[in-house]
């Protein structure tokens, strides 16, 4: 694979009353595994079902019920780990995290504290301005999601929906390598992109299938570099964890707001308490979730209902051998093979389906031209109607056909746009449409010349001006195009205009 090289982005700096401050951010991303059934039960994971309809006995923690691991979920965690170039632990184990809450029927969440299935990996986070940073991933572990408590349906009662209870989450824990709100958002975008490529998580943040806890601390410039050199957290400030955010915009806002809160505390001579906070987007503030007296002691211990999870290297190798091409590799290949700009390659590889569409379109054709058509015409048109690429009415074959007609000078770029609209709305084979509707461009120089001569004859004043100022030649080109209904080959028209005016 080709590696693209990047400059490091500058850390976000916030000026306090006394100092400049830098931000240090680590993230715990909870990604729901795309599986049909839950981590330890056969109940469906389908979103939007009637409350409490996707609940197996074990999900409701009925007496005597036991968890049985869903192998598919293990495979997805391993795939995700491999996609993040991470170490896969052949031996991992499940632990119980004990706490009481009505949407946690067992009274504990089955998780992997001591021996996660995936170890250290990394994510290349691009900022889109030619800078990028490798964010280290500390670990990925599997765990059960909790259910949903609903407090606003009745003034005196709370309700619980267990549909989500026991759904498999991957918790992807980063090192504190993220240096600003934009980087935090870009990190999530990249993680989501990789998981979508792998098919391990659909990345739907609106449905809560991708959520993040964000750890934020502040430090004086230079301190972070000391941390990097020593890995000693003592060089960094005390962090606060902002819980459970599922909006890219709120994540960025929350980081900034929290950093400013911490700066005000420290500059005022106070100390930041390590605590869990919630972001309130309406008030634009973070607030403490619980007091110290209520601090949880989760009493983690190995879940005795489950044997240690042992997987075989050969199985991991097999999964690795069948991984799809991942975003970084695809982007580098698009740049190398199709001559695309970094930006175009990024846009085209953002979604795996779009990348596949582009490749099918560009195959055996001019890559840059294909990229322009996919990005500018197709994406633009799809966006107008809120379609995504998988529901595009224009197939890669059809778009390729249009591009072929352009490349062969059969139609002009302008006509091509009309043709695209016809194909988009009516369908059909582009070449046949061009033939049937007489959209072919006029390459017969005799016909073009006749039209041009007529225009020159009718506009002597313009001819004189154009001879002094060659830029005005464009006016004649436009008139010829108009006279030929846009079908004249622009190249031929340009040549003839230049020739005639130069005479």
Partner 1 sequence: MSDLNKLGLAEARDLLRKGETTSVELTNDCLKAIDAADALNAFVHKTPELALERAKAADARIQEGDAPAMCGLPIGIKDLFCTKGVDSQAASRILEGFKPEYESTVSQQLADAGAVMLGKLNMDEFAMGSSNETSVYGNAVSPWRRDGSDAELTPGGSSGGSASAVAADLCLAATGTDTGGSIRQPAAFTGTVGIKPTYGRCSRWGVVAFASSLDQAGPMTKSVRDASIMLEAMCGHDAKDSTSAELAVPNFEAMLTGDIKGKKIGIPKEYRMDGTPAEIEALWADGAAMLKDAGAEIVDISLPHTKYALPAYYVIAPAEASSNLARYDGVRYGHRATLEAGDGITEMYEKTRAQGFGPEVQRRVMIGTYVLSAGFYDAYYNRARRVRTLIKKDFEDVFAAGIDAILTPATPSAAFGLGEMTEADPVQMYLNDVFTVTVNLAGLPGISVPAGVDKQGLPLGLQLIGKPWEEGDLLNTAYALENAAGFVAKPGQWW
- Residue pointed to by tokens 């939007």: 48
Chosen residue from 150, 278, 306, 320 binding partner 1 by CB under 8 A: 306
Chosen residue from 36, 158, 274, 376 binding partner 1 by CB under 8 A: 158
Q: How far is the CB of 63 from partner 1 (least distance, A)?
A: 5
Chosen residue from 6, 85, 98, 120 binding partner 1 by CB under 8 A: 98
Q: How far is the CB of 208 from partner 1 (least distance, A)?
A: 22
Q: How far is the CB of 301 from partner 1 (least distance, A)?
A: 6
Residues comprising the chain, all counted: 503
447 touches partner 1 (CB under 8 A)? no
**Dist CA 38 CA 421 (whole Å):** 45
CA distances to 259, 295, 309, 352, 496 from 116, rounded to whole Å, are 31, 24, 10, 28, 72
107 touches partner 1 (CB under 8 A)? yes
> What character string, x for contact with partner 1 (CB under 8 A) and - otherwise, covers 188-227?
----------------------------------------
293 touches partner 1 (CB under 8 A)? no
- Residue pointed to by tokens 């700009």: 341
Q: How far is the CB of 44 from partner 1 (least distance, A)?
A: 18
Helix then strand then coil, % of the chain, to nearest 5: 40, 20, 40
154 touches partner 1 (CB under 8 A)? no
- Pick out residues in 364-383 that bind partner 1 (CB under 8 A): none
64 touches partner 1 (CB under 8 A)? yes
108 touches partner 1 (CB under 8 A)? yes
304 touches partner 1 (CB under 8 A)? yes
Q: Using alpha carbons, select from 200, 138, 214 the residue that is nearest to residue 170.
A: 200
Relative to beta strand 276-280, strand 240-245 is parallel
Closer Cβ to partner 1, 71 or 87, answer by number: 71
Chosen residue from 132, 160, 326, 416 binding partner 1 by CB under 8 A: 160
Contact region with partner 1 (CB under 8 A), list: 98-106, 116-124, 135-143, 349-357: 98-106
**Dist CA 315 CA 371 (whole Å):** 38
Q: How far is the CB of 27 from partner 1 (least distance, A)?
A: 25
Chosen residue from 17, 48, 50, 100 binding partner 1 by CB under 8 A: 100
**Dist CA 213 CA 28 (whole Å):** 5
Q: How far is the CB of 150 from partner 1 (least distance, A)?
A: 13
Chosen residue from 62, 90, 264, 450 binding partner 1 by CB under 8 A: 62
Q: Using alpha carbons, select from 228, 178, 197 the residue that is nearest to residue 84.
A: 197
Contact of 69 with 41, CB cutoff 8 Å: no
Q: Residue 211: exposed, middle, or buried by beta-carbon count in 10 A (0-12, 13-18, 19+)?
A: buried
How many other C-beta atoms lie within 10 A of the C-beta of residue 446? Answer: 8
131 touches partner 1 (CB under 8 A)? no
Chosen residue from 1, 8, 13, 68 binding partner 1 by CB under 8 A: 68
- For residue 410, what are its two tokens? 């059969």
Q: How far is the CB of 165 from partner 1 (least distance, A)?
A: 11
Query: What is Dmax (Cα atoms) for the chain?
Result: 98
Helix axes 352-362, 396-407, angle to 10 degrees: 40
Contact of 218 with 263, CB cutoff 8 Å: yes
Total interface residues for partner 1 by CB under 8 A:
30
Q: Using alpha carbons, select from 174, 110, 116, 165 the residue that is nearest to residue 143.
A: 110
Please name the residues in contact with 203: beta carbons below 8 A apart, sequence gap of 6 or more. Answer: 31, 192, 193, 195, 196, 209, 210
Closer Cβ to partner 1, 107 or 428, answer by number: 107
291 touches partner 1 (CB under 8 A)? no
63 touches partner 1 (CB under 8 A)? yes
Closer Cβ to partner 1, 168 or 195, answer by number: 168
In eight-state DSSP terms, residue 189 is: H
> What is the SS3 assignment for 161-179?
ECCCCCCEEEEEEECCCEC
67 touches partner 1 (CB under 8 A)? yes
Q: How far is the CB of 195 from partner 1 (least distance, A)?
A: 27
Closer Cβ to partner 1, 68 or 450, answer by number: 68
274 touches partner 1 (CB under 8 A)? no
Chosen residue from 13, 66, 436, 458 binding partner 1 by CB under 8 A: 66
Contact region with partner 1 (CB under 8 A), list: 298-306, 375-383, 415-423, 485-493: 298-306
Q: Using alpha carbons, select from 196, 275, 264 the residue that is nearest to residue 34.
A: 196
Q: Residue 128: exposed, middle, or buried by beta-carbon count in 10 A (0-12, 13-18, 19+)?
A: middle
305 touches partner 1 (CB under 8 A)? yes
69 touches partner 1 (CB under 8 A)? yes
299 touches partner 1 (CB under 8 A)? yes
Q: How far is the CB of 45 from partner 1 (least distance, A)?
A: 20
105 touches partner 1 (CB under 8 A)? yes
Contact region with partner 1 (CB under 8 A), list: 171-179, 302-310, 411-419, 487-495: 302-310
Please name the residues in contact with 257: beta carbons below 8 A apart, sequence gap of 6 or more. Answer: 279, 284, 285, 286
| List of residues contacting partner 1 (CB under 8 A) | 57, 60-69, 96, 98, 100-102, 105-108, 158, 160, 297, 299-301, 304-307
């Amino acid at each position: 694979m080709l590696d693209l090289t990047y400059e490091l982005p500058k850390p976000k700096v916030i000026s306090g009353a006394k100092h400049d401050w830098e931000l240090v951010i680590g993230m715990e991303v909870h990604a729901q595994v795309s599986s049909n059934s839950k981590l330890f039960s056969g109940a469906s994971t389908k979103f939007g079902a009637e409350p409490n309809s996707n609940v197996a006995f074990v999900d409701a923690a009925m007496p005597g019920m036991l968890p049985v691991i869903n192998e598919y979920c293990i495979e997805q965690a391993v795939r995700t780990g491999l996609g993040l170039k991470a170490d896969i632990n052949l031996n991992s184990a499940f632990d119980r995290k004990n706490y009481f809450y009505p949407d946690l029927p067992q009274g504990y969440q089955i998780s992997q504290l001591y021996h996660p299935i995936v170890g250290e990996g990394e994510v290349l986070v691009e900022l889109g301005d030619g800078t990028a940073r490798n964010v280290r991933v500390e670990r990925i572990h599997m765990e059960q999601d909790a259910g949903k408590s609903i407090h606003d349906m009745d003034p005196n009662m709370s309700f619980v929906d267990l549909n989500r209870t026991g759904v498999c989450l991957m918790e992807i824990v980063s090192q504190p390598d993220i240096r600003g709100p934009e980087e935090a958002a870009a990190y999530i975008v990249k993680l989501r992109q990789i998981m979508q490529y792998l098919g391990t998580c659909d990345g739907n943040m609106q449905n809560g299938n991708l959520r993040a806890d964000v750890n934020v601390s502040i430090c004086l410039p230079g301190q972070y570099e000391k941390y990097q050199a020593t890995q000693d957290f003592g060089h960094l400030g005390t962090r606060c964890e902002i819980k459970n955010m599922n909006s890219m915009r709120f994540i960025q806002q929350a980081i900034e707001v929290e950093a400013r809160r911490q700066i005000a505390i420290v500059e005022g001579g106070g100390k930041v308490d390590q605590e869990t906070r919630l972001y309130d987007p309406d008030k634009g503030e973070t607030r403490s979730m619980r007091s110290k007296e209520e601090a949880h002691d989760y009493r983690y211990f190995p879940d005795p209902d489950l044997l240690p999870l042992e997987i075989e290297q050969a199985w991991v190798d097999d999964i690795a051998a069948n991984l799809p091409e991942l975003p970084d590799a695809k982007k580098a290949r698009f740049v190398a093979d199709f001559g695309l700009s970094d930006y175009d390659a990024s846009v085209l590889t953002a979604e795996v389906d779009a990348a596949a569409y582009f490749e099918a379109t560009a195959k055996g054709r001019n890559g840059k031209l294909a990229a322009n058509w996919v990005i500018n015409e197709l994406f633009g048109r799809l966006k107008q109607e809120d379609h995504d690429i998988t529901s595009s009415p224009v197939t890669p074959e059809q778009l390729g056909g249009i591009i072929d007609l352009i490349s062969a000078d059969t139609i002009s770029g302008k006509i091509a746009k009309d043709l695209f609209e016809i194909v988009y709305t009516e369908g059909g084979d582009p070449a046949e449409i061009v033939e049937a509707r007489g959209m072919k461009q006029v390459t017969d120089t005799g016909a073009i010349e006749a039209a041009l001569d007529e225009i020159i004859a009718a506009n002597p004043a313009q001819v004189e001006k154009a001879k002094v100022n060659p830029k005005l030649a464009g006016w004649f080109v436009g008139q010829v195009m108009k006279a030929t209904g846009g079908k004249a080959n622009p190249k031929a028209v340009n040549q003839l205009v230049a020739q005639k005016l130069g005479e």
